[in-house]
Amino acid sequence: MLTIEDLSAGYGEGTVVNNLNLIANQGQVTCLIGRNGAGKTTTLRGIMGLIKSSADTLRLDETDLSKMPTYRRAQSGIGYVPQGREIFPNMTVRDNLRIGLEANENSQQVPDYLFTLFPILKQFLDRKGGDLSGGQQQQLAIARALVTDPKVLILDEPTEGIQPSVIQEIGEVITELKSKMAILIVEQYLEFVMQISDYCYLLENGNITLEGLRNEIDLEQVKHTLAL
Amino acid sequence: MGTIIMQLFNGVSVASILMLAAIGLTITFGLMGIINMAHGEFIMIGAYTTYVIQNLFQTYLPHFFSSYVFVALIASFVVAALLGYLMERTIIRFLYDRPEDSLLVTWGISLVLQQLAQNIFGAPDVSVTTPKYLQGSIQVTKTVSFATDRVVILIIALAAISAVAYMLFKTRFGRNITATMQNRKMAASMGINTKRIDSMTFALGTGLAGLAGCTITWIGSIDPSIGQDYIVNAFITVVVGGAGTLLGTLFGSAFMGVGDTSLEFLTNPTIGQALILILVIVVLQFKPKGMFSSKSRKLND
C-alpha cells in the first residue's frame, strides 16, 4: 500500500501540486485523472523523487520513502512506467529488461511470466529498444518496471499514442496484475479509466477535487472537468 | 620497402600511445560530457607513480627490480583512479550540465597538479630505467626491426581498449553506465545509484590515463608538464573519431598517429603537423560528430 499525505511538488521555485493526499491499495487499480497541466505527471515524479518535492508522509507499506533518493525508492518497491516510455534506445530489449534487476532485491533473473504477458518482447529480445514501435515500447516499459518486482506499479498515461488493440492488451495485463501489487495510473483517457479502475481521484490545478470508487464517482463532474 | 614498414610501425606506435591517452577521455568526455582539462595531469600522475615504484624497488627489492614494471602498471592505474574518484566526489559532481565551468575548473586543477608535482619531484626531468626485456628490439627481417617497448605498448593499448569494450558491453557495470549516460532519471528510477556510477566511471577514465602515463615513461623522461604534450592530441583523437565510441577512438588514434608520422615522413615535421590538422578540420566539416558518432547524454542534445 502506497500512502501519500500532503505531497507538494514542482519545478524551480513554484509548486505544481499542493498538499495532495492519495492511497493506492494492493488489489486495486487507483486512477489519478486530470486534464493536461493538472499536475498528474508532476505527482508521479514527486513520488519517484525525480523533482523537488516534500511530503508529510510518503510510505510504501511500512517503509518511509520521503527522504530517499530516487534509486532507493525504486529498490524499496516502486515500479515506474514514465510518460513517453523512456526506454533506453541504444540498448537491446534484453538489456532494457535487465536494468530492472537493479531494483530487484530478490532475484537476478528476468522472470519468464513477462513473456507470457508480452509475447512480442520474447521475439524482439535482441533488437534495440529504440527500434520498437510505440506500443511495443510501452509493453517493454511495463515489463521493465515489473522486473523490479514492485509492490506498487505506477504508470503515467499508458495509453498515450497507442493503438486501440494494444490499449486493450495493456488493460488486460493491468487487471491481471492487481492481485499481486498496488497499481496507480495517471490517465486522461476516461473510457480506459472506467474500464480498469477501482478507485479514482480527480486532479484539478494541483489539487484533488473529487475522489471515490469508480462506480460511485460523479461521472458528470469528471467529464465536465476533463472537457473544460 | 623496409623503410616504409618501419615508418608504418612508427605510426602505429604513436597511434597506440595516443589511444591509451584517449580511451580515458572517450569515457569522461565522450560518455560523461565533462571537458576534463586535467586529463593530461592524470597521465603525469601515472608516470610519477611509475617513477616512485621504480625507486621503491631499487631501494628495497633490488633483486626483483625487473618486475617493477608489472607493479607499476597496476599502481599507476589504481593511484590515478583513486585521485580521479576523489576529484569527482569533491569537484566534478557539481559541474555536470555546466561544460564551460567544467573547462575552467579542470584547467585550474591541471595547473595545481602540475605545481604540486613540481614541489614534490622538482622541476627537472626524471626518468625510469626500463628493465632489460623492454630494451632492444625484435628483428623481423634484415632491414626491419621493431623496438620491444613499442611493441609492448601496442599490446597494452589493444588489451586496454578490448577490456574497456568488454566491460561496457558485456558486464552489469557497463550496462549501468550505458543506462545512466543515456537517460539518467530513468536509470535512477530503475534502482541504479547514478551518482556512484558517475564517480566510478570518472575514476575509470582517469585510471586509464594513469596507465597511459606508466607506458610513456619507457619512451621518454618525465616532467611535471608531461601531460600537456598529450592532452591536445588526445582530445583531437576523441573528437575526430566520434566522442563516446571506442571504435571512434580506435579510428581517431590510427588516423592521428599513422597520418601524422606518414605526412611528416613525406614532407617535413612542421608541414606534416599542419597537414594532419587540416585533415582533421576537413573530416569535421563533413562529419561534425566524428567518424563514428554515438548517442550520449550531452553531446547529442
SS3 assignment for chain B? CHHHHHHHHHHHHHHHHHHHHHHHHHHHHHHCCCCCCCHHHHHHHHHHHHHHHHHHHHHHCHHHHHHHHHHHHHHHHHHHHHHHHHHHHHCHHHCCCCHHHHHHHHHHHHHHHHHHHHHHHCCCCECCCCCHHHCCEEECCCCCEEEHHHHHHHHHHHHHHHHHHHHHHHCHHHHHHHHHHHCHHHHHHCCCCHHHHHHHHHHHHHHHHHHHHHHHCCCCCECCCCCHHHHHHHHHHHHHHCCCCHHHHHHHHHHHHHHHHHHHHHCCHHHHHHHHHHHHHHHHHHCCCCCCCCCCCCCCC
Q: For residue B296, is pLDDT > 80?
A: no
Q: Where is average pLDDT lowest: A50-54, B43-47, B84-88, B192-196?
A: A50-54
Question: Does the structure show a pLDDT above 50 at B299?
Answer: no
Q: List CB contacts (< 8 A) between A103 and chain B.
A: 190-191
Q: Does the distance separating the beta carbons of A88 and B182 come in below 8 Å?
A: yes
Nearest Cα residue in chain B from A99: B190
Judge whether residue A155 has pLDDT over 90.
Answer: yes
CATH topology of domain A2-227: Rossmann fold (3.40.50)
C-beta atoms of A103 and B191 within 8 A:
yes
Tell whether B188 lies on the interface with A, counting CB pairs under 8 A: yes
Q: List chain A domain ranges.
A: 2-227
Between chains, do B175 and A98 touch, taking CB under 8 Å as contact? yes
**Is A70–B189 a contact, with Cβ atoms under 8 angstroms apart?**
yes
Gap between the Cα atoms of B24 and B238, Å rounded: 10
Are residues A91 and B179, on separate chains, in Cβ contact within 8 Å?
Answer: yes
Q: What is the ipTM score, two decimals? A: 0.92
Contact A76, A56 (CB under 8 A): no
Within an 8 Å CB–CB cutoff, is residue B247 touching chain A? no
Strand, helix or coil at A41?
Answer: helix
Question: Are B191 and A74 a contacting pair at CB < 8 A?
Answer: yes
Q: Is B132 an interface residue toward A (CB < 8 Å)?
A: no
Chain B partners within 8 Å of A90 (Cβ): 178, 182, 294-295
Cα distance from A143 to chain B (closest Cα, Å)? 12
Q: pLDDT category, A50, cuts 50, 70, 90? A: very high
Nearest neighbour of A102 by CB, restricted to B176, B182, B295: B176
Task: Please give the Cα distance from A200 to A222 (Å, whole number).
Answer: 10
Residue A209 has a pLDDT of 92
- Following DSSP, what letter does each residue of A83-105 receive, concatenated? TT----TTSBHHHHHHHGGGG-S
Q: Nearest CA to CA, how far is B182 from chain A (Å)?
A: 7
The answer, yes or no, to whether residue B255 has pLDDT greater than 50, is yes
Please tell me the predicted confidence (pLDDT) of residue B1.
78
Q: What is the pLDDT of residues A34-46, one digit of tens each?
A: 998 899 999 999 9
CB contact under 8 Å between B188 and A82, yes or no, is no
Span A209-227, average pLDDT: 89
Domains of chain B: 2-300 (1.10.3470)
Checking if the pLDDT of B294 tops 70, the result is no
| pLDDT averaged over every residue in chain B | 90
B125 pLDDT above the threshold of 90: yes
Buried b (16+ CB within 10 A) or exposed e, A123-160: ebeeebbeebeebbbbbbbbbbbbbbbbbbbbbbbbbe
B179/A148 Cβ within 8 A: no
CB-based contacts of B100: which residues, under 8 Å, 6+ apart?
none
Greater pLDDT, A124 or B298: A124
pLDDT of B300 reads 41
What does the pLDDT read at residue B295?
Answer: 53
Distance from the B165 Cα atom to the nearest Cα atom in chain A, whole angstroms:
15
Say if the Cβ atoms of A103 and B194 lie within 8 Å.
no
Q: How confident is the model at residue B298 (pLDDT cuts 50, 70, 90)?
A: very low
Read off the pLDDT band of B137 (50, 70, 90).
confident
Q: Given B172, B186, B194, which is nearest A82 (Cβ)? A: B186
Q: What is the pLDDT at residue B297?
A: 45
Condensed to tens digits (0 to 9), the pLDDT of residues A62-106 reads 999 999 999 999 999 999 999 999 999 989 999 999 999 999 988
